[in-house]
């Protein structure tokens, strides 16, 4: 789970300016949104759980989908993922993906990008 961008803490006894610069860099990195990617190979079913999350994502986007039965054939669907945060299930419950219909005959590889709030701000 993304915890923010970490810099090793350093004590700069010799150079106060270098210590201040290091803190400034860390503060800047803490304002950047965090991302993780999750890849699944499965049949598309509704609902579908993206689990092992300890924090609610701001967004979930389908970055790539491949039909594993015919990898060179494009899968025509959008990237919009509708989901509901279900912490009791350990993650996000995907209720639909734009343009896909549930199937037990076509197995897909899904690559999702999950974005999370910056460590500070929002």
Cβ neighbours of residue 89 closer than 8 Å, sequence gap 6 or more: 49, 51
Q: What digits encode the pLDDT tens for the residues 25-66?
A: 777 777 888 899 999 999 999 999 999 999 999 999 999 999
Over pLDDT 70: what percentage of the chain?
86
Q: 3-class SS at 33?
A: coil
CA torsion through residues 25, 26, 31, 36, sign:
positive
Establish if 70 belongs to a structural domain: yes
Q: How many CA atoms lie within 13 Å of 117's alpha carbon, on the beta-carbon side?
A: 7
Token pair for 35: 């991302």
- Report the C-alpha gap between 65 and 25 in whole angstroms: 36
Establish if 12 belongs to a structural domain: no
pLDDT band of residue 2 (cuts 50, 70, 90) is low
pLDDT band of residue 1 (cuts 50, 70, 90) is very low
Establish if 28 belongs to a structural domain: no
Establish if 122 belongs to a structural domain: no
Q: What digits encode the pLDDT tens for the residues 91-100?
A: 999 999 999 9
What pLDDT was estimated at residue 104? Answer: 94
Count of structural domains within the chain: 1
Establish if 10 belongs to a structural domain: no
Q: Which domain holds residue 53?
A: 33-116
Establish if 104 belongs to a structural domain: yes
Establish if 95 belongs to a structural domain: yes
């Amino acid at each position: 789970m993304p915890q923010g961008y970490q810099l090793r803490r350093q004590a700069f006894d010799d150079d106060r300016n270098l210590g201040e610069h290091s803190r400034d860099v860390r503060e800047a990195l803490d304002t950047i949104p965090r991302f993780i990617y999750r890849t699944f190979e499965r049949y598309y079913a509704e609902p579908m759980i993206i689990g092992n999350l300890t924090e609610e994502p701001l967004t979930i986007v389908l970055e790539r989908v491949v039909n594993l039965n015919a990898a060179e054939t494009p899968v025509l669907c959008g990237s919009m993922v509708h989901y509901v945060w279900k912490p009791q299930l350990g993650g996000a419950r995907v209720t639909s993906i734009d343009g896909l219909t549930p199937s037990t005959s076509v197995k897909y590889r899904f690559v999702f990008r999950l974005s999370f709030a910056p460590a500070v701000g929002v």
